């Protein structure tokens, strides 16, 4: 096998096993990354790779868990329901319609109950 064939085969296997990522980094963060890489006497890319792999291996991602995402969605759904009710009341008032006070009170009780259930999950 020639040197050229060896390099070609090596690159093919490398590309199958690894992915290269790039992303912009503000100058402030880049400078800090550079200083730390100099301190540890490693190339900046090697240091960045070390940070990412250590973070991923720690098992503590900063993104939201499914439970927290569902929790936030439920909160937003309840809040939107209240906002929609308020908008409907304001609209009816502005066009001169009368508002049935019993419907309003029952609606507010319903949302109060929803919030009580929601808060009890916390």
Tens digit of pLDDT per residue, the chain (122 long)? 788 888 888 889 988 998 888 889 899 999 999 999 998 888 999 999 988 888 888 765 556 667 777 888 888 888 888 888 788 887 877 888 777 777 777 877 887 888 788 777 76
Both 38 and 72 in a single domain?
Answer: no
Give residue 29's domain range: 3-58
Confirm whether pTM is higher than 0.85: no
DSSP 36-99: HHHHTTS-HHHHHHHHHHHHHHHT--SSPPHHHHHHHHHHHHHHHHHHHHHHHHHHHHHTT---
Both 92 and 111 in a single domain?
Answer: yes
Both 54 and 82 in a single domain?
Answer: no
Both 53 and 83 in a single domain?
Answer: no
Both 7 and 54 in a single domain?
Answer: yes
Both 52 and 88 in a single domain?
Answer: no
Both 73 and 31 in a single domain?
Answer: no
Burial of 42 (0-12, 13-18, 19+ CB in 10 A): middle
Both 11 and 30 in a single domain?
Answer: yes
State the pLDDT at residue 95.
83
State the pLDDT at residue 59.
66
Both 42 and 71 in a single domain?
Answer: no
State the pLDDT at residue 113.
84
Both 71 and 115 in a single domain?
Answer: yes
Both 40 and 85 in a single domain?
Answer: no
Domain limit, last residue, from 58, 74, 94: 58
Structural domain count, the chain: 2
Domain limit, last residue, from 58, 80, 99: 58
State the pLDDT at residue 28.
92
């Amino acid at each position: 096998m020639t040197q050229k064939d060896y390099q070609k085969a090596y690159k093919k296997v490398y590309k199958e096993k690894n992915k290269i990522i790039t992303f912009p980094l503000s100058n402030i963060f880049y400078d800090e990354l550079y200083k730390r890489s100099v301190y540890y006497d490693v190339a900046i890319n090697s240091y960045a790779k070390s940070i990412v792999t250590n973070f991923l291996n720690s098992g503590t991602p900063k993104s939201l868990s499914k439970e927290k995402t569902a929790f936030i969605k439920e909160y937003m759904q309840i809040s939107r329901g209240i906002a929609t009710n308020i908008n409907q009341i304001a609209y009816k008032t502005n066009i001169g319609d009368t508002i049935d006070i019993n419907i309003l009170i029952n609606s507010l009780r319903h949302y109060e109950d929803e919030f009580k259930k929601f808060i009890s999950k916390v």
